[in-house]
Structure 1
């Protein structure tokens, strides 16, 4: 099982900058993490639940999330009470409303100055620009690791990759992310035990699930519990957390599912 306690921090670097910062992102009790991303507004616009970023941070604190993912300019929103206990992942690549491929928007050095515990870059396996995006992330990872900063790589398997490779595309995408420098892989997977198992077995870094299963009829908390049982290292849930009618309760339930606990309302 590739949770943090098994392979995310190796003995030789458990107490260097990389290991110390990774421990800020994952629960010391379970080796898993619930991350709340709120880096969507440059693409989606500041609506649909993103209007008040500080309220999302407050909900993450009260709901017992482990970390948040946001953009460097929004670090000021972490000034709410209790946010000092959250891991900080800063997304450095992005796009606007058009296209699918990312460019580098902020530097690793700037993220470090903004107190990042980790940095994030994204690519989409099978997109027209996937090779260039992989190169951008590989360079980002090199710079981050020289500064002791962990790297979370977000990767999604595009229809083009799935058409060509079938379900093997999911594990292939995760392995690409690891090989170009990911310490944590964030990806979206279907509710298919064989696919999840293949991804876990094909990587040696924690995988966190993004967004939940594509099929909205699947209960998200049940899905996460099953995935955790297969060795998934956590989840990164944005819209289905902060856009919920009761965000604190939604996050609390997701945290309980990730950490194998009962939600306390």
Structure 2
């Protein structure tokens, strides 16, 4: 027996992977991130499943609960929002389980930055506009290395998605402009991407703070910045009729 870490997807209950769905359906115990994961996902579980809300637990309690379930012969699922590889406290959990002699398996999920792009109908990597994506956050109670500051990353001028920072949208936009983005750079905030109460705000780095304040958006949101949100567009050469490759001559 082992603990199955499952990425719940960005919010919409149908955006969990098939493997993740099967894990939930068969689980005897689920420890879920109740402050972030859509509760509707628990509808996939058995009627007699044992449920624990990790929002009310500290790390030692989470690990102890997982270990207790596995040792009792239960199928244990640790249900994370989006994909646990991004700001999921994954490393400390698997290290903790290993220290307890508990095995684990990782079942990846669809991250919210992917769900948000689909909600906006955009592509992060527009040919000749941006071919890179920076995923980051602003420093807060959890610090960020100085070399990974928003100012430092802004020098690249590429597509950027900023997690866990919508409380500081004024400071975020200011730091990005100071770092090198033009104030007119397209920007957006997506609140609860793919949920039924999803909300989208579009603007620029100059206008976004006021728009966010007007809508009172301050949590569970992604800040998206870059010219990929603008109108400039170049078609991919891959699908042009005169572009030759091994499958099409």
Scaled by the length of structure 1, the TM-score of the pair is: 0.27
Q: Which has the higher helix share?
A: 1
Bigger Rg, which one: 2
